[in-house]
Structure 1
């Protein structure tokens, strides 16, 4: 993922979290993800979190 795309995704994640009214720990429970992923994903300057081994594989179709 390029830096510009990652920055745009982080903005969208932060906006969605704010609009939901949920705490990050609540979001982690609802999403079935670890708290560390939810806390790290929207932070600027950090690399994109690695996908969970249980995450679906990205599509390789054209």
Structure 2
């Protein structure tokens, strides 16, 4: 599971991840999954080839505040 670093455009981070994913697939062709992206940036992750997403907040809403 990859998430974009804070302060970096998600598209750039996921493009870099896609390059790494392609390198892995050249060695292990059956490695076809790429898990990346969260509720705020899943569209950029999909654009770069993500096959699995973490979109909990978009479905369930924000976590309750616990002091």
TM-score (norm 2): 0.31
Structure (1 or 2) with the greater strand fraction: 2
Q: Which protein is bigger by CA-based radius of gyration?
A: 2
TM-score (norm 1): 0.33
